[in-house]
Amino acid sequence: MSINQEKILLSSGRETAMAIGLLAGLSLFSLFIVGYDTGQIFSLIQGKSAYGNMWLHEFVHDIRHESGFPCH
């Protein structure tokens, strides 16, 4: 095996780990956004009033319907 082939093999493992870490971080961030939007995260602090704040839903409401995705 030449030196160039060894560098390629080593870098592919590092890139895979970075891609998995990025995907895991994006997944956790997405869960936070959905939990924030539906009031699940701040309901412990704000009580029932947190469930009425659906800013993200209202922001993309019409876009979802135009794209063909039902939301209610």
- Could you tell me the CA-to-CA distances from 48 to 41, 42, 45 in Å, in that order? 11, 9, 9
User: What ranges in the chain are assigned the alpha helix state H?
Assistant: 3-38, 43-46, 55-67
Supply the pTM of this predicted model. Answer: 0.56
Q: What is the pLDDT of residue 71?
A: 67
Give the model confidence (pLDDT) of 13-50 as tens digits.
Answer: 788 889 999 999 999 998 888 777 777 777 777 788 77
Q: What is the pLDDT of residue 72?
A: 65
For residues 1-10, average pLDDT: 57
Closest among 39, 71, 33 to 53, alpha carbons compared: 39
> Is the model's pLDDT at 7 over the cut of 70?
no
> What would the two tokens of residue 62 be?
């019409």
Q: What is the pLDDT of residue 22?
A: 96
Q: How far apart are CA 48 and CA 26, in angstroms?
A: 28
